[in-house]
Structure 1
């Protein structure tokens, strides 16, 4: 199995040239160079040109680079999409995807813009309709939008649109987070948790990272560089967990266990599904180690 770690996914304002340069030194797994929320209307075109130039120049090392465009119904969206496709980042993030039709036509536009075949699309899940249509949107990855690779939860916009409060423990958000996670997993998409706004509250941020891990998220979107290291730690398996996973794999690889669905290991019953989970744990740990080295 091959994995790209997506533990920490940092938003960077596309209008800030110094931030785009600083991003090349940060230990984030992914960088979202933002043309939408972080950019004022009168700076949209400048930000577009600046981000496209930065991506073409490169220098971001193993970091996955994503451009978040403005919505295709805005005055800037189509030009953003064309410029992003020409710059050739790892992915383009589409905001406010609410239904299948929001992805319709994007493939044709990308091909016309000369997009690389491996350019991926990520979808912001941040509206009430998106919560209702999550399964249909995810299913687009199998036919109408094969580039679709990930969901990004937009919890701030969800709170705005629904009136739900962003409280400790996120009880109002949990049904929507898990609904989108189930849809993503049903169609083999990654899913990234929403941001934590109080970047000065280290304890609260750590708790929300732990919750994201428990929910099954691949990683978390971030708004400040100081959130990167604790996020990476939270979404990384511990040395003990990796050692345990390797032991499970080794046990099932023994000839005498080749046809067994369950075995006993260190006094515990282990099923073959645990071996599949262990292989994923080890693959992600190896990918993280390779990136660190």
Structure 2
């Protein structure tokens, strides 16, 4: 049993006090680069000016023989790049791997001053977060850090999804969750080889035409990830942390990528992973409210006055629930516009 009063005490002598709230900073795209790749490290400074989150990847996508080079690359980027307003994250190797402990140690002791968030893959339950929480506190104390590092978990197993609420509430370090569709599909024994997105065999079919049994019956492709994303969003909102869609693997299919990102955005996600520069602009466009939506939301808020009661606006009923929805859109628009003059102008916020 743990007293609620102890929840916000440091877990190690000399470690910084945990945060009471998760700071919201734009994170429409978490842009991955392999930290072992010298050419990609050379582009990190330029990429930091184009993305909301830049992530040095040490895990999947980095061959076993390059794991130590990736760890050294993380430290190199952390100590040489001016990130400005951009967040700097890293994804370490899983806790059951030979590299996870050394990744966490180097991340805190050698790169901790530059890092904002450490992403933990294949989290299956709160015990994984408890382990990381205590270890980070000890390392922060050793490194003399004054701000606590945040933790982001990836849902990649059925057990993780089953325990998602407990994971979200496991520590005040929890910053958010991402959906890991490829590993999750394998763990669930789903019969798809795609990395995210829909599947042409996952459909609903229109009923037969009662007057013509030979008439075509249109089919409509469905979203394999709707349930999991919705559950993840609910768990994150309950805990006061942030939900993200993960990777979309078909780099060449920008249209389907945008569709998947928009599904996640509409369900409540704040961002998605970008695996290629072409996906950066897609994520930026999708996870920024459309100017027309912002204008409409502002009209509703203004027309509703104190936000109570109900009105008719453009032939549609608006009430206090409508106002709350509109406030979500306008608040996000203002957060993004504060850091993006082009968006501010499109929203009519520019002074």
TM-score (norm 1): 0.89
Tell me, yes or no, if the aligned pair for 2:229 and 2:264 is still in contact at 8 Å.
no
Q: Which has the higher contact order (CA 8 A, sep 6+)?
A: 1
Higher Cα Rg, which structure: 2
Give the stretch that moved more between structures: 87-96 or 23-32. 23-32
- Stretches of structure 1 that go unaligned for 5 or more consecutive residues are none
Alpha-carbon offset, residue 205 of structure 1: 1.5
How far did residue 206 of structure 1 move?
Answer: 2.0
Aligned counterpart, 1:231:
283
Which residue is 2:177 aligned to? 151
Q: Distance in 2 between matches of 1:131 and 1:53?
A: 35
1:111 to partner: Cα distance: 1.7
1:91 to 117, 126, 137: 117
| Number of aligned positions between the proteins | 285
Q: Residues 124 and 194 of structure 1: is their aligned pair in 2 closer, same or farther, counting only changes over 3 Å?
A: same
| Partner residue, 1:183 | 235
Query: Structure 1: how far apart are the matches of 2:329 and 2:335?
Result: 10
Contact 1:3 1:283 in 2 (8 A): no
Q: Which has the higher helix share?
A: 1
Mapping of 1:117-196 within 5 angstroms?
117-140=147-170, 145-164=171-190, 165=192, 166=194, 167-168=198-199, 171-196=223-248
1:72 to 87, 90, 95: 95
Is 1:282 matched up with 2:330? yes
Aligned pair in 2 of structure 1 residues 290, 18: CA closer, same or farther (>3 Å)? farther
Structure 2 gaps, min length 5: 1-21, 200-220, 342-351
Q: Could you tell me how far 1:103 is from its partner in structure 2?
A: 1.1
Aligned Cα RMSD in Å? 2.2
Specify the alignment match of 1:3 in structure 2: 24
Q: Equivalents in 2 of 1:282, 1:218: separation in Å?
A: 14
1:147 and 1:2 mapped to 2: Cα distance?
11
- Residue 132 (structure 1) shift: 1.0
State yes or no: 1:216 paired with 2:264: no
